[in-house]
Amino acid sequence: MTRDNDIPPEVQKDIMKATFRAITRYGYADLTMEKIAEESNKCKSTIHYHYGTKENLMVDFIKYLQKGFKRNIVPDTGDPLERLNGVIDRMLFGTKNGKIPERFHTALLELRSQAPYNEKYRRQITENDELIHGKVKGIIEDGIEKGVFEKEDPGTIATIILSAVDGARARQISTERKAVEKARNSLDDIIDEMLLKGR
């Protein structure tokens, strides 16, 4: 049972921010409603009343990340090349509000690895994924329309960019290699050779 539709916006925002802090601190597996309550100004029973289960709360949290992506990751202004470079930089290195803690990315990877066993997570992650893909694709389409980019398939280039970012994130936290910096260099090459063709 999901009750998130009935939650007053301020309460929801407070719980979501507390969830961000708690999952960054403890990871996904060790996350409990009690730990979320400790990070917020709400008591455990309030959080329990609104969400019922950790699963419902996490689905709402994944949805909340989507809003953050729209607000903080996708640049509104600039020419298409600046916007494309901006969205890549923010996905790799952090938002305009500052660096995203590496432990938060670790928790997201943990959450992602639960998705095969959990249909609700999978559905919400798919929705986020499609939104992000659409945004990046939109920037590339805009660039092609304005004659800044070559006529490549925007969906394919968006897939390449998002896969490279995701792969680099997983490498960055699970190995000792400087994966996100290497990914940025690789994506520069892709943009140069596929979208700009040495212009």
Question: Rule CB under 8 A: which residues touch a copy of itself?
Answer: 27, 29, 102-103, 106, 109-110, 112-113, 115-117, 121-123, 125-126, 129-130, 152-153, 156-157, 159-160, 162-168, 170-171, 173-177, 179, 182-183, 185-186, 189-190, 193-194
Nearest residue to 11 (alpha-carbon basis) of 47, 53, 55, 63: 47
How distant is the alpha carbon of residue 120 from its chain centre? 17
Nearer to a copy of itself, 148 or 170 (CB): 170
Closer by beta carbon to a copy of itself, 38 or else 110: 110
Phi-psi region of 18 (alpha: psi -120 to 50; beta: other; left: phi over 0): alpha
Show the CA angle centred on residue 152, arms to residues 151 and 156, nearest 5°. 155
Minimum CB–partner distance for residue 180 and a copy of itself (Å): 10
Q: How many CB atoms lie within 10 A of CB 12?
A: 16
Q: CB of 29: closest distance to a copy of itself in angstroms?
A: 7
The residue among 42 and 120 lying less far from a copy of itself, judged by its C-beta, is 120
Report the nearest approach of a copy of itself to the CB of residue 156 (Å).
5
The whole-angstrom separation of Cα 44 and Cα 189 is 50
Shortest Cβ 39–a copy of itself spacing (Å): 20
CB 149 → a copy of itself: shortest distance, Å?
13
β-sheet bridge partners, residue 20? none
* 94 versus 155: smaller Cβ distance to a copy of itself: 155
Closest contact distance (angstroms) between CB of 63 and a copy of itself is 15
* 12, two tokens: 């929801």
How many CB atoms lie under 10 A from the CB of residue 178? 12
Distance, in Å, from the CA atom of 165 to the CA atom of 147, rounded to the nearest integer, reads: 26
Q: d(Cα 151, Cα 101) in Å, to the nearest integer? A: 37
Give the nearer residue to a copy of itself in terms of CB position, either 55 or 110: 110
Closer to a copy of itself at the Cβ: 47 or 195?
195
Residue 194 and residue 86: Cα distance in Å, rounded? 18
